[in-house]
Structure 1
Amino acid sequence: MNTAADSTTGSSQRQIDQWFANYSGDHRNATNQLIHVICVPAILWSVIALLWCIPAPGTLFRAGFWAGLAMLASVLFYYKASRALGLGMAAVYVVMGLATRWIHDSYGTTTLLWLGVGVFVVAWVGQFIGHSKLFEGKRPSFFTDLRYLLIGPAWVLAKLYRKLGWSY
């Protein structure tokens, strides 16, 4: 698949840097960036929560199986793009997974499901407000390439890394 991320810069630049450059181009407004720093992790957690609610197959697996499988697959994607981001996202997933497990074990699947749906909807509304003519005035990046749904969380983490003076 040929995307803007594949062809915007020279071949000496890492693909993750190309994705971040394109993603950043759709996120120049400071308010939209702030909205993303809040809403992207919220959406990420809500997807984990929703996947957690899907029953695990058979008796060998526990609640959270599908969420764990998705987290593992995405960590491999991030790790291939950048070891530092892959390890950072693994740490993020551990925290989100533990929080999700606590909510599930404390309040049950139904509560986790409705909480996940609520956070998902509210956070996506926030995202679209950030991209509206009020702030950014550009379509979300994932309309160009669905991989940007995975790039968003890494972009937020990379912003934190830069703030801390860490390389990715």
Structure 2
Amino acid sequence: MKTLTDQLAQYATYHRDRRNIATHLVGIPMILLALQVLLSRPVLADAGVPVTPALILTAITALYYLRLDRPLGALMALLMAAGLALAWPLASQSTPLWLWSGLGLFVLGWVIQFVGHFWEGRKPAFADDLMGLVIGPLFVVAEVVFALGGRRALHDAITARAGPLRSGSTVAAQPSADTKTL
């Protein structure tokens, strides 16, 4: 099994434009919530907590994240539990409201993602490795943790493998040949 650094660095190579990462901070949570909404029907059993395909898939994914890294995995489990807490009430609404909310979030989230990849000039990571669909949410949470100053060693290891972030254009400004240095 690949390590956390392996997974995040591989995913990061497709995400070096800051604008693309910004779209992922919005789009990926929308897509994840959409999947939880859509998969919160049917209720397979109810033992105080509705057992749904969303709950089962969320639990499996959380266990995978925990295996990769306990602190980030625990944070992901909490965030995904919050997503389920939002998804269950939506899934219990009328069928049109359930479908429109789930499908609307799903489509809008992907549109936002593809705008980011247009700016990046590169296809999404999942086009080459389906694990990108699982690693995407973890990448977003890790990026927020990094922005808050956490996990510096992990951030540095990912940057060493994937390269530095770009501010927006794919070509960094280069000094002209006739610029003299003092």
TM score, norm. by length of structure 1: 0.81
Q: Quick one: percent identity of the two aligned structures?
A: 32
Q: 1:110 Cα deviation (Å)?
A: 3.3
Q: Which residue of 1 aligns with 2:109?
A: 123
Query: Which consecutive residues of structure 1, in runs of 5 or more, have no partner in the other structure?
Result: 7-14
**Is 1:93 matched up with 2:77?**
no
Counterpart CA distance in 1 for 2:116 and 2:81 is 28
Query: Considering only aligned residues, what root-mean-square deviation do their CA atoms show, in Å?
Result: 2.1
Counterpart CA distance in 2 for 1:108 and 1:122 is 21
1:13-24 alignment, distance < 5 Å? 15-24=3-12
Which structure's relative contact order is higher, taking Cα pairs within 8 Å and 6+ residues apart? 2
Counterpart CA distance in 1 for 2:112 and 2:13 is 19
Counterpart CA distance in 2 for 1:131 and 1:166 is 26
Greater share of residues in helix: 1
Q: 1:62 Cα deviation (Å)?
A: 6.6
**Is 1:28 matched up with 2:12?**
no
Counterpart CA distance in 1 for 2:48 and 2:54 is 12
TM score, norm. by length of structure 2: 0.75
Q: Which residue of 1 aligns with 2:144?
A: 160
More moved, 71-80 vs 60-69:
60-69
**Is 1:39 matched up with 2:27?**
yes
Counterpart CA distance in 1 for 2:136 and 2:95 is 27
Q: 1:116 Cα deviation (Å)?
A: 0.6
Q: Check whether the contact 1:51–1:64 (CA below 8 A) recurs between aligned residues.
A: no
Q: Which amino acid aligns with 1:147?
A: M
Query: Which consecutive residues of structure 2, in runs of 5 or more, have no partner in the other structure?
Result: 155-182
**Is 1:76 matched up with 2:60?**
no
Q: 1:59 Cα deviation (Å)?
A: 6.9
Q: 1:63 Cα deviation (Å)?
A: 5.0
